[in-house]
Amino acid sequence: MAPQTRGTSFPKIVIERDYDTEESSEEEEEHEEDDEALNDSEEASDEERLEEKDEASTSTKKRREPITISLKRVCKVCKKPGHEAGFRGATYIDCPMKPCFLCKMPGHTTMNCPHRVATEFGVSPAPFKSSHSSLEYVFERQIKCRLPAMKPAYVIPNKVNCAVIRYHSRRVTCLEFHPTKNNILISGDKKGQLGVWDYGKVHERIVYGNIHGCILNNMKFNPSNDGTIYGASSDGTVSSTDLETGISLSLVNLNPNGWQGPRNWRMLYGLDMNSDRGVLLAADNFGLLYMMDVRSNDVTGKPILIHKKGSKVTGLHCHPLQPDLLMSCGNDHFARIWDMRRLEPGSSIYNLPHKRVVNSAYFSPQSGSKILTTSQDNRIRVWDSIFGDLDSPSREIVHSHDFNRHLTPFRAEWDPKDVSESLVVVGRYISENFNGIALHPIDFIDVTTGQLVAEVMDPNITTISPVNKLHPRDDVLACGSSRSIFIWKPEENSELKRERDETKIILCGKSEKSGKGKLDDDSGDDDTYGSKSSKTKKPCIKSKVHGGKRKC
């Protein structure tokens, strides 16, 4: 089955950019070939040799050899001549000397990687092994029977419905849908700012700037009061913010004495709420877990080492049904399952090894019986039953979501609506040439088969979309790409519906260079465009930024 949206022509109705982006980019690169001649002709004229004398005589190091710089055309990846890596038009040519950028195996490039198949990424199935445990028996009898055997047809939100371009002043790091109000999306960014956007009323949005000093890594709604949201930040604090007022209080501050050097600065990443116990859990970059009582808004007990000492705990997730189960994942290449009743260093129930850093680890959203992890080894792993064999993942799905220090780490996210607990959304790192444009799609993967169900892209979104969240009730996808946020909905096919099929785009400030005191100065630059050809600009509410900035 071909994935949705693949190969189809782009819809006529597209996002209109601001009027000052005039380049029509119509000229297509026709010279796809014929570059080899350059390599063969030993361009001696281009070849220069520069000698750099060792001027660092003040340094106590021994004299360095003169550096010879060759200006001959070489591959930027392996520095060898004869080939060049990089974009040729909208197609990326890999360096053949490096392992495959997708599956990390040597001997081929992404171009002919067996995992880069049009409709299906690679899957390594693991044989079913029965553990014959009583827990597995319970699972088979009581839980698995509740999971429908037939999977309903997936409804894929494949068209941008509305967007705020340059909404945040830095890249988006996390997204949360409001648990009860359907059109409210909360977003966090690298600067620690928190956005509240009513994408139903497209113009109603606000950005609170005084909550955190740097990266807002994870957010979690307070289940007993959905007017407030918790946030864990690299500034070392956990915040509780009132969404109406933007007034925030700190539940914990791990850096009460300010900046004492990088070895002492504590950053909070993982965050989740255990409502049964009334505790908020957060974890830091030194491997420690902190617990906060949500009634007293105070830390309870001492921090517990749950990952390798000094390593970052990237994520926390409480089991949706079993309040005693907690999952954590981190830079020590493990996802770990814990019993909340016995939380002490080394007492994890299971340790799920990965080849690289684990960006995220989630129980499945409804039964909690499956586990989904995203690792920096470019693989999504699935364990089909937490009661079955956890020694090895049930499936490993090769998928391009490489680590890049300038991107928010990718996290494969369950579709919370999918009763079969098999649909997952994840952004893709490597681009593909879609009608002459290099685009980075957002992938929908059926993790029971590893099949790519849909790849979703828009010719106006040329940036990578590492942050994706599916709505808990509606067929809506929210995606954070660079500083912008996009709302996707299923495309309505009929011509009648097309009449009201309008993409609403809000363009915020062009740049933030002049904003010393304030952030996005979007005066006069903030407009909505109907995606039809009408150029009538509508008035709108400006993005609000509250408070100042803190150093991180």
- Binding residues (CB under 7 A) for DNA: these are 76-77, 85, 87, 92, 94, 101-102, 110, 166, 171, 312, 331, 333, 356-357, 376, 400, 403-407, 429-431, 438, 440, 462-464, 481-484, 510-513
Closest contact distance (angstroms) between CB of 81 and DNA is 15
Token duo for residue 366: 């409804």
Closest contact distance (angstroms) between CB of 392 and DNA is 20
Closest contact distance (angstroms) between CB of 356 and DNA is 4
Closest contact distance (angstroms) between CB of 6 and DNA is 16
The β-bridge partners of 305 are 288
Closest contact distance (angstroms) between CB of 109 and DNA is 8
| Pairing assessment for the beta strands 159-165 and 123-125 based on DSSP bridges | unpaired
| Pairing assessment for the beta strands 204-208 and 545-546 based on DSSP bridges | parallel
Closest contact distance (angstroms) between CB of 229 and DNA is 23
Closest contact distance (angstroms) between CB of 50 and DNA is 14
> Is residue 393 a contact partner of residue 399, using CB atoms and an 8 Å limit?
no
Nearer to DNA, 191 or 317 (CB): 191
Closest contact distance (angstroms) between CB of 171 and DNA is 7
Closest contact distance (angstroms) between CB of 161 and DNA is 20
Token duo for residue 127: 């044989």
> Is residue 38 a contact partner of residue 46, using CB atoms and an 8 Å limit?
no
Nearer to DNA, 100 or 251 (CB): 100
Number of helical (H) and strand (E) elements in the chain, helices listed first: 3, 38
Taking the C-alpha atoms of residue 202 and residue 184, their distance in angstroms, rounded to an integer, is 10
Closest contact distance (angstroms) between CB of 482 and DNA is 3
CA distances from 165 to 175, 459, 538 (A): 15, 14, 16
Nearer to DNA, 279 or 407 (CB): 407
Helix (H) or strand (E) run with residue 136 in it? helix 134-138
Phi then psi for residue 425, to 5 deg, are: -115, 140
Taking the C-alpha atoms of residue 388 and residue 318, their distance in angstroms, rounded to an integer, is 19
Say how many CA atoms lie within 13 Å of 225 toward its Cβ. 12
Nearer to DNA, 354 or 471 (CB): 354
DSSP label at 409? Answer: P
Nearer to DNA, 19 or 87 (CB): 87
Nearer to DNA, 275 or 511 (CB): 511
Nearer to DNA, 85 or 251 (CB): 85
Nearer to DNA, 251 or 407 (CB): 407
Per-residue DSSP letters for 440-455? --EEEEETTTTEEEEE
Nearer to DNA, 352 or 407 (CB): 407
Nearer to DNA, 60 or 493 (CB): 60
Closest contact distance (angstroms) between CB of 157 and DNA is 20
Residue 142 in 3-state DSSP? helix
Phi then psi for residue 448, to 5 deg, are: -80, -25
Nearer to DNA, 119 or 180 (CB): 119
Phi then psi for residue 111, to 5 deg, are: -60, -40
Closest contact distance (angstroms) between CB of 58 and DNA is 15
Closest contact distance (angstroms) between CB of 288 and DNA is 16
CA distances from 225 to 228, 239, 294, 511 (A): 6, 14, 11, 36
Token duo for residue 40: 């063969």
The answer for 164, left when phi > 0, alpha when psi is -120 to 50, beta otherwise, is beta
The β-bridge partners of 250 are 239
Nearer to DNA, 267 or 299 (CB): 267
Other beta carbons within 10 angstroms of residue 375's beta carbon come to 26
Taking the C-alpha atoms of residue 463 and residue 9, their distance in angstroms, rounded to an integer, is 20
Task: Choose among 421, 387, 418, 423: nearest CA to 141.
Answer: 387
Taking the C-alpha atoms of residue 164 and residue 527, their distance in angstroms, rounded to an integer, is 10
DSSP label at 543? Answer: P
Nearer to DNA, 30 or 495 (CB): 30
